[in-house]
Amino acid sequence: MNVLWQRWLLLLLAQAVLGALGAWLAGWPAALAAVLLGSWLWLLADSWQARKLWGWLQSGDVADVPPMRGLWAALGASMRRWLRAKEKSVQAADLRAQGVLHAFHASPNGVILVDDQGQIEWCNRMAESHFGLQAERDLGQMLGYLVRDPALSAYWHGQDFSEPLSMEGIQGARLSVRFYPYGKGKFLLLAQDVTALEQAEAMRREFVANVSHEIRTPLTVLMGFVETLQTLELSEQQRQRYLDLMGQQAQRMHHLVQDLLTLSRLEGSPLPNYDHAVGVRTILQQCEVEARALSKLLCKDEPLHVLQFPTADDAGMDTELLGAQVELVSAFSNLITNALHYTPPGGQVQVRWLMHADGSASLQVRDSGPGIAPEHVLRLSERFYRVDRSRSRETGGTGLGLAIVKHAVQRHGAQLHIESKVGQGSVFSVHFPARRLRTPSSGA
Ligand code: ADP
C-alpha cells in the first residue's frame, strides 16, 4: 500500500481512537475536542517534519538528509535521489564542456567566443598569442577595443562573414580570420596563422617570375638570331657565327631546365637510402677528372688553375658516405665547378677531405678567387641569387647551383658553410655528421 494511503488510514484510525476515548470518558463534546486535538498534534508533527525538509533543501548539501519519518522520510529519499541524478548529469555536462574547451586550447588556431555585442566570453591560448589578449583580464571586454584594427572592426560591423578576413596579428604575423555564428546571436571567431602559407605563396610567385625571366632572356636572343638568319643575306662565316651564338643560348636554357629538374627532384623525392654507401675516394676521383677538363676549357691559352686534390692514400679517403651517389657527386662537383668558374686562370683551387676528432668529416673547397662580400654570403644558396648577374651569365651559371648543393647535402644530414672575404678567395665546406659516415674503424 502506498505511503500516502497508509498515512490517511493512520490519521483516521487515530481520530477514531481519540474520538471513542473522549466519548467514553466525557461524552460527545469531549470526543470532538479529542479529535480536534489529535488533528492539531498531527499538523504540528507534519510542520516539524516539513521544516526539517525545507532546512535540508536550503542547506544545499544533498548528502546530509535529516532523520525524518513516514511520508517525509520517503519524500526526502526520493528528493535526494533526484538531486543526485541531477548533480551527476550537471557534472557530466560540465566535464563535456571542459573537454571541449581543452580541445579548443589544443587547437593550432585561435578561437574567441563573443556575444552579439562583440564582448569576449572566452578565448583559447592561441588567440591570446595571435591578438595579445589575456583571458583572465580581457573576458567581458569588447573585442574591438582590445584588437584595434580598422579592418577587423569593419568586418564585424559588415556582418558578412562569407569570406575570411586577412589581417595582421601581433609581431607581424598574417592571420586569416572568420566569424562563425552559433547559439543565440553568438559568434565563434577562428583565426589561422597563414604567415608561412603567404610566404610560401610569395616564394612560389617569385620563383615563377625568376624562371620566366631566366628563360625569356636567352629565348629572346635566340628568336632575334632566327629572324636575322631568315631575313638577311649572310656570308657563310656570319651564318656560322650566328649559329654558334644560338647554340650558346640553347645550351643556357638546357642548363637551366636541367638544374630546375634536379632541384625539383631533390625537393620532391623521398630521402636517400642510408643503407647505400659511396666511397669518398670514388667521388673525388670523378670530380678531379671533370675539374681538370673544365679548367682546360676555361683557361684556353692562359695558364691552367693550380688544382689540388687529395691523393688516393690520404687520410680519410677510405671513408664512405651513406646516401645517394648522384646527389653527393652533384653537390661536390657544383662547388668545385663554381671555384673554377669564379677563380681566374692560374689561380688556386684546393679540395680537401678532413676527418674531425668527433668522428664527423668535411669536404672543403678553397679557392683564390675574388671572394664574396659578407652581405651576399648568407643569401648565396637562395635560388637565382647571384652576386654579379653578368659574371654568372658569362660563366654559364644558372643561379641554382648552390641551392642544389644546399638541398642535396641537407638530405644527407650535412650542412653547407661558406667563409669568404673580398679579395681573399672563398672556402665552401660541407660538414657531415659521424652518423652519415662509414669508416673502416667504425665498421658501421
Ligand atoms: P651560379 O650558377 O650563378 O654560379 P650558384 O648558385 O652556383 O649560381 O652561385 C651563386 C652565386 O654565388 C654566384 O652567382 C656567384 O656570385 C657566387 N659564387 C659561388 N661560388 C663562388 C666562388 N667560389 N667564388 C666567388 N663567388 C662565388
Residue type, 143: L
∠ Cα 40 43 44 (to 5°): 85
Distance between CA atoms of residues 16 and 180, nearest Å: 72
Give the start-end residues of each E strand in 131-232. Answer: 165-168, 174-182, 186-193
Would strands 306-308 and 348-355 be described as parallel, antiparallel, or unpaired?
parallel
392 C-alpha to ligand 1 centroid (Å):
7
296 C-alpha to ligand 1 centroid (Å):
20
Q: DSSP state, 396?
A: T
Q: How far is CA 409 from each of CA 135, 213, 259, 414, rounded to the nearest angstrom?
A: 46, 28, 16, 5
Looking at ligand 1, which atom is closest to the CA of residue 370? 25
Looking at ligand 1, which atom is closest to the CA of residue 386? 14
Give residue 234's pLDDT. 87
- Ligand 1 pocket, mutate which of 392, 404, 418, 428 (most atoms under 8 A from CB): 392
Closest residue by Cα to atom 7, ligand 1, is 401
433 C-alpha to ligand 1 centroid (Å):
25
Closest residue by Cα to atom 3, ligand 1, is 399
- Please enumerate in sequence order all residues whose Cβ is within 8 A of that of 207, keeping only pairs 6 or more positions apart, or say none: 383, 384
pLDDT tens digits along 52-75: 889 888 887 877 888 887 888 888
Q: Give the mean pLDDT per block of 10 residues along the chain (444 residues).
A: 80 91 91 91 90 87 81 85 92 94 93 95 95 93 93 94 94 93 94 94 92 92 93 92 93 93 91 92 95 94 95 93 95 96 96 96 97 94 88 80 96 96 96 92 58
Give residue 347's pLDDT. 97
338 C-alpha to ligand 1 centroid (Å):
6
Closest residue by Cα to atom 24, ligand 1, is 342
Distance between CA atoms of residues 331 and 321, nearest Å: 13
Looking at ligand 1, which atom is closest to the CA of residue 259? 2
Closest CA to 403 of 278, 285, 256: 256
Q: Take residue 291 and report the three cell numbers written for it.
A: 675539374
H helix or E strand, kind and range, residue 432 = strand 426-432
Q: Torsion angle, CA of 31/35/36/42, rounded to 10 degrees?
A: 160
Give residue 442's pLDDT. 61
Looking at ligand 1, which atom is closest to the CA of residue 392? 3
376 C-alpha to ligand 1 centroid (Å):
10
Q: What is the pTM of this model?
A: 0.69
Give residue 1's pLDDT. 58
Distance between CA atoms of residues 151 and 146, nearest Å: 14
190 C-alpha to ligand 1 centroid (Å):
45
Q: How far is CA 59 from each of CA 45, 62, 73, 443, rounded to the nearest angstrom?
A: 21, 8, 17, 78
402 C-alpha to ligand 1 centroid (Å):
7
59 C-alpha to ligand 1 centroid (Å):
83
Q: Which residues line ligand 1 (CB under 6 A)?
A: 338-339, 342, 367, 369-370, 372, 380, 385-388, 392, 397-403, 426
Helix (H, G, I), strand (E, B) or coil at 422: coil
Q: How far is CA 96 from each of CA 99, 181, 184, 188, rounded to the nearest angstrom?
A: 5, 21, 20, 18
Domains annotated on the chain, with CATH = 2-98 (no CATH), 108-193 (3.30.450.20), 206-269 (1.10.287.130), 274-444 (3.30.565.10)
Q: Take residue 175 and report the three cell numbers written for it.
A: 592571420
Are 364 and 429 spatial neighbours (Cβ–Cβ below 8 Å)?
Answer: yes
Looking at ligand 1, which atom is closest to the CA of residue 399? 8
Distance between CA atoms of residues 49 and 39, nearest Å: 15
Please give, one letter per residue, the 3-state secondary structure of 307-375.
EECCCCCCCCCCCEEECCHHHHHHHHHHHHHHHHHHCCCCCEEEEEEEECCCCCEEEEEEECCCCCCHH
Are 151 and 225 spatial neighbours (Cβ–Cβ below 8 Å)?
Answer: no
